[in-house]
Structure 1
Amino acid sequence: MKSIKNKIKKLRKNILKYEYSYHTLNKSIVSDAEYDYLFDKLYNLERQNKELITSDSPTQKVGSNLLIQSKKSMHFFPMLSLDNVFDLNGYLNFEKRVKKNLNNMNQSLVFCCELKIDGIAISIIYENGVLSRASTRGDGCYGENITDNARMIKSIPKKLKGSDVPKRLEVRGEIFILKSNFYNLKKTNNFSNPRNAAAGILRKINININDQRNLMFLCHGYGFFDGLEQFTSHYERLMKCKSWGFPVDENTKICLNYKEVFKFYQKIESNRHFLDFHIDGIVIKVDSIEFQNKLGSSSKAPKWAIAFKFQTKEQITILKDVKFQVGRTGIITPVACFEPIIISGVKIQRSSLHNKKEIQRLDLHIGDSILVRRSGDVIPKIISVIASKRLKNSKKILFPHFCPICNSELLENKNDKIIRCHAGLTCDAQKKKALHHFFSKQALNAKNLGYKVINQLIAKKYVENPVDFFNLTRSSLMNVDKLGEKTSVRIIDAIEKCKKTSFKRFVYALGIPCIGETMSKKIAVSFQTIERLMNSNLNELSSINGIGKIVSNNIFNYFSIPSNRKLILNLIKKGIVFRRREDALFKHKNNTFFLGKKIVLTGIFRFYSRTDLKHILTELGAKILNTISKNTDLLIYGKNFGSKFLKAKKMKIKMFNETKLVSLINKSNI
Structure 2
Amino acid sequence: MLNPDLFEPAPAVAERAAWLRAQLHRHAHAYYTLDAPEIPDAEYDRLFQELVALETQYPVLRGADSPTLRVGAAPLPELAAVRHAVPMLSIHTETDTTAAGAQAFDARVRRELGLDLADAEVEYAAELKFDGLAVNLRYEQGVLVQAATRGDGETGEDVTQNIRTIGQIPLRLNGCAAPVLEVRGEVYMRRDAFERLNERQREQGGKTFVNPRNTAAGALRQLDPAITAQRPLCFFAYGLGEVQGWTVPDTHAGMLDALAALGLPVCAERVVSSGVEGLIAFHAAVLLKRDALPFDIDGIVYKVNSRALQQQLGFKTREPRWAVAHKYPAQEQITTLNAIDVQVGRTGKLTPVARLEPVFVGGTTVTNATLHNLFELRRKGVRAGDRVIVRRAGDVIPEVVGRLVEERPQYVPNFAMPRACPVCGSAVEREAASVEHRCTGGLVCAAQRKQALLHFAGRRAMDIEGLGDKLVDQLVDADIVRTLPDLYKLGFSHLAALERMGEKSAAKLLERLEASKQTTLPRFLFSLGVRHVGESTAKALARHFGSLDALMDADEAALLQVADVGPVVAHAIHSFFANPLNREAVEQLRAAGLSWSEGEGASSAPQILAGMTLVLTGTLPSLSRDEAQALIEAAGGKVSGSVSKKTHYVVAGEAAGSKLEKAQQLGVAVLDEAGLRELLASALPRSSL
TM beyond 0.5:
yes
Match in the other structure for 2:495: 477
Q: TM-score, normalised to structure 1's length?
A: 0.68
Match of 1:599 in 2: 614
**Structure 2 length as normaliser, TM-score?**
0.66
Alignment partner, residue 465 of structure 1: 483
Deviation sequence 1:261-305 (CA, Å, 0-9, x none):
445667899799999999974342495979976x77644445x32
Answer whether contact 2:381 2:403 (CA < 8 A) is retained.
no
The question of 1:43 aligning with 2:49 is answered: yes
Shift in Å, 1:41: 1.5
3-state secondary structure, aligned to 1:578: coil
The answer to whether the 8 Å contact 1:366/1:394 transfers is no
CA distance in 1, matches of 2:291, 2:371: 29
CA RMSD of the aligned region, Å?
A: 6.0
Q: Which ranges of structure 1 fall in alignment gaps of 5 or more residues?
A: 125-133, 162-170, 202-213, 225-232
Alpha-carbon contact 1:109-1:288 (below 8 Å) kept: no
Aligned residue-pair number? 609
Q: Secondary structure of the residue that 1:462 maps to in structure 2?
A: coil
Alpha carbons of structure 1 residues 101 and 30: separation in structure 2 relative to 1, 3 Å:
same
Shift of the 664–320 alpha-carbon distance from structure 1 to 2, 3 Å rule, reads: farther
How far off its partner does 1:335 sit?
Answer: 3.7
Contact 1:365 1:394 in 2 (8 A): no
Identity of aligned residues (%): 21
Residue 420 of structure 1 deviates from its aligned partner by 1.0
Deviations for 1:24-55, whole angstroms, at most 9, x for unmatched residues?
x6x53438x83553243242256268458332
Could you report, residue by residue, the CA deviation over 1:75-120 in whole angstroms, capped at 9, with x for unpaired residues?
A: 9x99865322244322312333444566763414624537679635
Q: Which residue of 2 aligns with 1:54?
A: 62
In structure 1, distance between residues paired with 2:676 and 2:295 = 24
Relative to structure 1, is the Cα distance of residues 145 and 199 closer, same or farther in structure 2, using a 3 angstrom cutoff? closer
User: Is 1:515–2:533 an aligned residue pair?
Assistant: yes
1:16 and 2:25 are equivalent in the alignment: yes
In structure 2, do the counterparts of structure 1 residues 334 and 6 end up closer, same or farther at CA, with 3 Å as the change threshold?
farther
Alignment partner, residue 125 of structure 2: 113
Aligned to 1:89: 100
Map of 2:301 onto structure 1? 282
Conserved in 1, the CA contact under 8 Å of 2:333 and 2:359?
no
1:179/1:278 contact within 8 Å kept: no
Matches within 5 A, 1:252-331: 255-262=273-280, 281-285=300-304, 298-302=316-320, 304-309=321-326, 311=328, 314-318=331-335, 319-331=337-349
Partner of 1:30: 37
Is the contact made by 2:76 and 2:157 (CA closer than 8 Å) also made in structure 1? no
C-alpha separation between the residues in 2 aligned to 1:38 and 1:98?
26
Cα distance change, pair 45–537 in 1 and its aligned pair in 2 (3 A): same
1:133-532 pair list within 5 angstroms: 175-176=184-185, 235=251, 255-262=273-280, 281-285=300-304, 298-302=316-320, 304-309=321-326, 311=328, 314-318=331-335, 319-338=337-356, 339-343=358-362, 350-373=368-391, 377-380=394-397, 382=399, 384-389=401-406, 391-393=408-410, 395=412, 396-525=414-543, 532=550
Contact 1:276 1:646 in 2 (8 A): no
Matches of 2:641 and 2:84 in 1, distance apart?
52
| Matched AA of 2:122 | V
Q: CA deviation at 1:428?
A: 1.2
Task: Answer yes or no: is the 8 Å Cα contact 2:42–2:333 preserved in 1.
Answer: no
- Partners of 2:389 and 2:379 in 1: how far apart? 14
Contact 1:46/1:53 (CA < 8 Å) preserved in 2?
no
8 A contact 1:353–1:359 mirrored in 2: yes
CA shift in 2, pair 1:654/1:299, >3 Å: same
Secondary structure of the 1:324 match is: strand
Task: Find out whether 1:653 has 2:640 as its counterpart.
Answer: no
Q: Partner of 1:119: helix, strand, or coil?
A: strand
Q: How much does 1:608 deviate?
A: 10
| TM-superposed deviation, 1:523 | 4.1
- Max Rg structure: 1
Change in 2 beyond 3 A, CA 1:367/1:378 = same
Contact 2:135 2:148 in 1 (8 A): no
5+ residue gaps in structure 2?
A: 1-9, 140-146, 162-170, 198-212, 224-233
The alpha carbon displacement at 1:657 in A equals 8.7
Q: Deviations over 1:405-440 (max 9, x none)?
A: 123221111154431111122211112222333444
